[in-house]
Amino acid sequence: MSIADLINGQKPEGVEEIVVAAMLSAARPFYFAGLQIHKTLYRKGWKKIHKLPCRVICMGNLTLGGSGKTPATIMATQMLCDFGARVAILSRGYKRAKKTKEPVIVSDENRLLASPAESGDEPFLLARSLPGTPVIVCADRYQGGMEAIKRFKPDIIILDDGFQHWRLARDCDIVCIDSCQPLKNLKLFPRGALRETPAALARAHAALFTRVDEPQKIAEQVQYIRSFNRTLPVFYLRYNLNECIPLSKGAAPLSAQDLETKQVFLFCGIARPESFFRLAAQHARRIAGTLALPDHVHYDKDCLRELSHAFSRTNADYLLTTEKDAVKLESAGLPRIPVYYFRLNTQLLGENASDEFLKILLEA
């Protein structure tokens, strides 16, 4: 069991794991105290909050990864662009291989300009999924935002993953919550997946539950978050697996019949691999095996060799992964094995939900 597993709340098994888990639990009060001091420095004006000269919308969360921010950001951007707004996306480029202090323009209004290594897998996926929308990566979000304004003159900047980023002022905070990971079951970092306590929902403008099939099934979760913000608007986002696309150019997409009759091996390097495995299993009926790799995994030679061995060992007909993994595999020198990836469609559930969500994006 890795430290990441212990941080995410898994029960320790051996003596060494019990000791590490106890140390992480003991560190929790110090993390909480540091968090409160950090917030106070900004609230009291002892550290400066920078304001960009345009509307800033944050798509954030309360947990360490895996809350569905990227599909939600794509959906929100598409809604704003359809409304007629000029939108740019700003990200810190978490775990990009090639780091620089200067802003990196991942894409402009016309084309992709950076690789996944230069931008990070999620910003690159955002840029590829949203042609015509500039995507900028910079560790200093204010500097990146000013660069976006200088180059592209957006009406709105969407801040990808910035709910805990106090240095940059926002006009609207949307908090994404994974419906498969109820907040009431989570504990604070470092012996838990919470970046901050659910009390932080008091400063949110809306909560967006992701991976929802039927809203009534998570009524208890909604009641729980409303105990921290009674008037918080709540929305529900369903994921639909749309196309099954080949990584190799020229190959045909997998049909529904292929997914039902062929042996498929599933793999991914995301924060919540079980969510992908569960969703994929609704379409791929014959699962030959699964492989959960670390989040933001770098597909090096050893990793590619492991995938090749898994393909041979399980007698699978195809390997199937996420689009986030696919953007890195395209340039990784993958052996000649049939790899496909699912493309997600998202759907806001509820009558008038799209109009209400757009209104919050524009006016909250």
pLDDT in tens, the chain (364 residues): 677 777 877 888 888 888 999 999 999 999 999 999 999 999 999 999 999 999 999 999 999 977 899 999 999 999 999 999 999 999 998 878 788 889 999 999 999 999 998 999 999 999 999 999 999 999 999 999 999 999 999 999 999 999 999 999 999 999 999 999 999 999 999 999 999 999 999 999 999 999 999 999 999 999 999 999 999 999 999 998 878 999 888 788 888 788 888 999 999 999 889 989 998 998 888 999 999 998 889 898 899 999 999 999 999 999 999 999 999 998 777 778 899 999 889 999 999 999 999 999 999 8
- How many residues belong to the chain? 364
Rounded Cα distance between 73 and 76, Å, is 5
What is this structure's pTM? Answer: 0.93
Structure-block tokens of residue 337: 């094995």
User: Quick one: which of 104, 173, 107, 163 has its CA closest to 139?
Assistant: 104
Rounded CA separation 309/289 (Å): 12
Do 317 and 338 touch, CB atoms closer than 8 A? yes
Phi, then psi, of 136 in degrees rounded to 5? -125, 135
